[in-house]
Amino acid sequence: MPLSVGIVGLPNVGKSTVFNALTAGKAEAANYPFCTIDPNVGVVPVHDPRLKRIQKHIKTDKVIPAIVELVDIAGLVKGASQGEGLGNKFLANIRETNAILMMVRCFEDENVVHVAGTVDPIRDIDVIELELVLADMETAEKRAKKALSGSKTGNKEAKAELALAERVVAHLSAGKPGRSLEATDDEKAEVATWNLLTTKPVLYCCNVGEGDLPDGNAYSDLVKARAAREGAGVVVLCGKIEAELAECSDEERVELLAGYGLAEPALHTLARECYRLLGLQSYFTAGEKEIRAWTIKQGATAPEAAGVIHTDFEKGFIRAQVFSLADLEEHGSEAGLKAAGKLRIEGKTYVVQDGDIMHFLFNV
C-alpha cells in the first residue's frame, strides 16, 4: 500500500489548486466551498535522484519511483464534527489516510473570499484542529463506555482500557490533540487501534502569494512557529506557481523555478517531509527488467523489506544480497562489486539502511 496523505483545509485556501498541480491535473478549483464533493485521489511519484544514478550502472528501460497517494478531501467548516457541511464524510475520509497535510491560506486576494472574512492562518488551524478533537472525543467516549461494561465483570483488560480511555477523553476535552498525549509505548499502540484523527502526523502547507517565495511571509512565519512547538512539518509553496510548473516543459520548469529562487517543485519537499514525519525510507531493487524504489519504515529488517514486494518473500526469506549506491558508483557494476568484496550477504536480523540496493533469495 502506498503512503496516503489527506489534504485538508477550510474552503478557498487553494487546496484543490495545489492538489491538481501536484498530481499534474488541469482542473481549476472553483471559488466556492465544497467544490471537491468526493475525495479525489492522485498517485504521484517521489522524486529520488538516486534512481537515475543507479541506472547509469545497471541498464534498464524501466525506472519505477516510490509513490505517495494524495487524497483531496472536501473543505471542512466549523461544526463538521456535528455534521455541518460535509462533516461526517469529511471525517471518514481522513481516517483512511496515514498523515494529514493541512493546507493553510497565507495569501491576501480580494477575488478569493475567505470563509471567515479575513486571513488568519492560526485561527484556521484551530478551527480544523477543534473539529478533529471533537470527533475524536466521541470515539474515545464510546471506547470508555464499552470498557466500562466490561470492567463491571472484573475484566482486568477492560479496566485498563477504561482508565486509558478516560485519560484520552480528559486530554481531548482540554482541546489537546491525541498526538500530544503522554503515554507508554503499549498505551500508544492501544490508542493507535482506535484510529483517532488527531494522532495522525501533521504537515502544515502554507499557500503564499507569488511575491512571497521562496521564504514566505508574516502569515507563514506564524505557522512555522506553531509547527516548531508541535514538532510538526511545514512547507511553504504558492499554489499558482505550482499549477504553472505542472504545465511546463522540463526546460521551462528549471527557468521558472530559478526565477522564484526555488531549487525544486513543492512536491519533492512535501514527499520528503511526509517520509520524515512517518519515519519512512526507501530501498531499491535493480535488475534487467526494472529499477524500483520501495517504501519501508525506518528500522525494518531485511525480511520485512522483502515483504513489501510480496508477503511470500517475507515468509520464505533466506538471505539478501546488499550493496550501496556509493560502492556501485565506485566499482561500476555488480561484477565489479563482487570482485571487490562489496556485495554483502545479510540475514534475517539485518536492519535495512536508507538507499540500500537489495536482491532477495527466498523459498516459497
**Where do we find the cell 491538481?**
20
Residue 52: helix, strand or coil by DSSP? helix
Q: Give the chain's domains with CATH numbers.
A: 3-49+65-120+200-277 (3.40.50.300), 131-198 (1.10.150.300), 299-362 (3.10.20.30)
Q: Answer whether 0.75 is exceeded by the pTM.
A: yes
How do strand 63-64 and strand 291-297 relate by DSSP bridges? Answer: parallel
CA dist., res. 72 & res. 39, Å (int): 5
Q: Pick from 63, 65, 18, 64: which is nearest to 42 by CA?
A: 18
CA 123 to chain centre: 23
Residue 14 has pLDDT above 50, yes or no: yes
pLDDT of residue 39: 54
**Mean pLDDT, all residues of the chain:** 88
Mean pLDDT of 8-27: 77
Looking at the predicted structure, is the pLDDT value of residue 307 above 80? Answer: yes
Alpha-carbon torsion (113, 117, 119, 121), positive or negative: negative
- Give whole-number Cα distances, 77 to 31, 74, 96, 172, 198, in Å: 15, 10, 20, 20, 17
Percent of the chain topping pLDDT 90: 64
Residue that the C-alpha cell 555488480 belongs to = 334
pLDDT bucket at 35, cuts 50 / 70 / 90: very low
- The residue with greater pLDDT, 149 or 358, is 358
Number of other CB atoms surrounding residue 326 within 10 Å: 11
- Whether the predicted pLDDT of 180 surpasses 60: yes
Summarize the confidence of residues 139-149 as an average pLDDT. Answer: 93
| Contacting residues for 361 by C-beta, under 8 A, at least 6 apart | 318, 319, 320, 321
pLDDT one-digit tens code per residue, 324-343: 999 999 999 999 999 999 99
Sorted by sequence, the CB contacts under 8 Å of residue 201 that are 6+ apart come out as 98, 99, 100, 179, 232, 233, 277, 278
Residue 326 amino acid letter: A
Alpha carbon of 289 to those of 44, 64, 210, 278: distances in Å? 22, 11, 43, 30
For position 90, what pLDDT does the model report? 63
pLDDT digits (tens, 9 = 90+) for 98-128: 999 999 999 998 888 777 789 999 999 999 8
Q: What integer pLDDT is reported at residue 284 of this predicted model? A: 98
Containing 326, the helix (H) or strand (E) segment is helix 325-331
Task: Kindly report, residue by residue over 227-263, the tens digit of the pLDDT.
Answer: 999 989 999 999 999 989 988 888 999 999 999 999 9
Please report the pLDDT score of residue 104 as a whole number. Answer: 95
Q: Which of 56-60, 73-77, 292-296, 320-324 has the lowest mean pLDDT?
A: 73-77
Query: Measured between alpha carbons, how far is 337 from 34 in angstroms, rounded to an integer?
Result: 56
Confidence of residue 28 (pLDDT cuts 50, 70, 90): very low
- Give the pLDDT of residue 37: 39
SS3 readout for 85-154 = CCHHHHHHHHHCCCEEEEEEECCCCCCCCCCCCCCCHHHHHHHHHHHHHHHHHHHHHHHHHHHHHHHCCC
β-pairing, 357-362 with 317-323? antiparallel
pLDDT in tens, 207-232: 999 999 999 999 999 999 999 999 89
Radius of gyration (C-alpha) of the chain in whole angstroms: 23
Q: Sorting pLDDT into bands at 50, 70 and 90, what band is 75?
A: low
H or E stretch covering 241: helix 239-247
The pLDDT of residue 30 is above 50 = no
Of 93-97, 144-148, 177-181, 332-336, which range is least confident?
93-97
Cell numbers representing residue 133 in the block: 478533537
Amino acid at 17: T
